[in-house]
Structure 1
Amino acid sequence: MTIDTWIFDLDDTLYPPESGIVAAIEARMTDWIAQRLGVEPAEADRLRHAYWRDYGGTLPGLVARHGIAPETFLADVHDIPLTGLAADPALGTALAALPGRRVVFTNGSAWHAERILRARGLTDHFHGTFTIEHADFVAKPDARAFDSAFRALDIDPTCAAMFEDSPANLRIPHARGVCTVLVGPRAVEEPFIDHHAPDLTAFLSQVGIGGFPARPRHLP
């Protein structure tokens, strides 16, 4: 199939999960909720998970239920050290070989995306970034977030591929016609997941050599 736009999630997709970045963000979220809502850490952690489940992300839940200022929350929880990240020239080379546009679509903030891409040495390999601010703080997997991104970035979903570490975030793109790739060590058998990339760099390198694999046919 012909792909002209390559969409990449950011966290735990463009860097290894073992870097500890997501765990650090989640810890800051729990601390932030405990302090701002005046609850015990265990209750704060429960709320963080509950809002993620019910609203697609902790931030949308906090906005809906408590009217918090999203900009303040994002600035605080993303203010973490990035010492666990290093530049990845091999991934940069694999990205640069992809034909067409390469964009980042993240539930994180613009500042967070900028810091991560800079730390990984990948800033110059992307043509655009769509962050939660651009989606009016609506998070994946909400269909509105995907539709906003496709409109803002002028993406034809039927000519796009999306790389994500979260299976839930691939359901809506697949329904829109996107070819979906689950990134990470664990394969998940779902009709809305077209490909599995245990190693993103290796997968993209194969794409550069032989072209993007055809969408597999799933049984209904």
Structure 2
Amino acid sequence: MTTDKLPAGDNLSVFAGVRDWIFDLDDTLYPPETGVFTAVMSRIRAYTARVTGVTAEDALALQRNYAARYGTTLRGLMEEHGVDPEDFLVEVHAVDRSVLTPNPALAAALSRLPGRKFILTSGTHAHAGETLSRLGLDDRFDGMFDIVDADYLPKPAEATYAAFLARFSVEPTAAAMFEDTPRNLVVPRALGMRTVLVVGQTAARHDVPPADFITADLPAFLTHVADTLSG
């Protein structure tokens, strides 16, 4: 499936029976083209360089290595350098969010979805709260589960999904997951969730999407889902 077309309405009928809608935050509820999460990643790189004493170039390699091995750079820094996670999280999320503006189309689409809506993020409650406020979405969600709630064990760890599901009494087969990172959809899909990969407008084509659907326009996708379910 390419990113320039929405799936047919008949296909969207698979969302019938979904009671819980789960969304990643960064680069999912706002486009990656805004650069907000890129700024977070830059601050992670700078933090990594400072606490490990390596160059910026080596910090980038280390950042990628830890993310691949531990799920996040933070987990790698905690395991191998004893970094204080609270100090890390405060520093790396101190970014300028002024580029983010209210998204009334997304707010309206979320309101039309039947059931509960949740945020499942590897960021923090504070970062998510400020970001949602900028997007005009702070009153659209019923709950939030962040990296601290996950005991600093990030997606795609199975234990993190299990903890989230238990916290909010979510039945996976009656849930849908929206993510910008393909590997974070593997466990939800295996659990029986409907899965949607959200990509940027400039994303490369996915010949074999690691999800049930792929979209570069989340508000339009959700609107089509809501139209299908209400029809």
State the TM-score, normalized to the length of structure 2: 0.89
Matching residue of 2:120: 105
Letter in 2 for 1:195: F
Give 5+ residue unaligned stretches, structure 1.
213-220
Matching residue of 1:211: 229
Counterpart check, 1:46 vs 2:61: yes
Letter in 2 for 1:188: H
CA drift at 1:189: 4.5
Counterpart check, 1:197 vs 2:212: no
Matching residue of 1:218: none
Query: Residues 191 and 29 from structure 1, CA distance in 2 versus in 1: closer, same or farther, beyond 3 angstroms?
Result: closer
> Larger relative contact order (C-alpha < 8 A, sep ≥ 6)?
2
Whole-angstrom CA distance in 2 between matches of 1:211 and 1:169: 26
Matching residue of 1:188: 206
CA drift at 1:61: 0.9
SS of aligned partner of 1:211? helix
Residue by residue over 1:116-157, the C-alpha shift from the partner in whole angstroms, topping out at 9 and shown as x without a partner, is: 101101010000011000000000111111111111121100
Whole-angstrom CA distance in 2 between matches of 1:189 and 1:122: 32
Give 5+ residue unaligned stretches, structure 2.
1-15
For the Cα contact (< 8 Å) 1:175–1:192, is it kept in 2?
no
* Off by >6 Å, runs of 4+ in structure 1: none
Counterpart check, 1:32 vs 2:47: yes
CA drift at 1:5: 0.1
Whole-angstrom CA distance in 2 between matches of 1:106 and 1:189: 27
Give RMSD over aligned pairs. Answer: 1.3
Residue by residue over 1:81-121, the C-alpha shift from the partner in whole angstroms, topping out at 9 and shown as x without a partner, is: 11111011111000000000000000001111111101101
Query: Residues 25 and 191 from structure 1, CA distance in 2 versus in 1: closer, same or farther, beyond 3 angstroms?
Result: closer
Higher mean C-alpha displacement, 1-10 vs 203-212? 203-212
Counterpart check, 1:144 vs 2:162: no
Whole-angstrom CA distance in 1 between matches of 2:31 and 2:210: 23
CA drift at 1:52: 0.6
Residue by residue over 1:56-82, the C-alpha shift from the partner in whole angstroms, topping out at 9 and shown as x without a partner, is: 111111111111110110000000111
Higher mean C-alpha displacement, 58-67 vs 88-97? 58-67
SS of aligned partner of 2:225? helix
Matching residue of 1:163: 178
SS of aligned partner of 2:139? helix
SS of aligned partner of 2:62? helix
In the alignment of these two chains, the number of paired residues is: 212
Whole-angstrom CA distance in 1 between matches of 2:209 and 2:186: 9
State the TM-score, normalized to the length of structure 1: 0.93
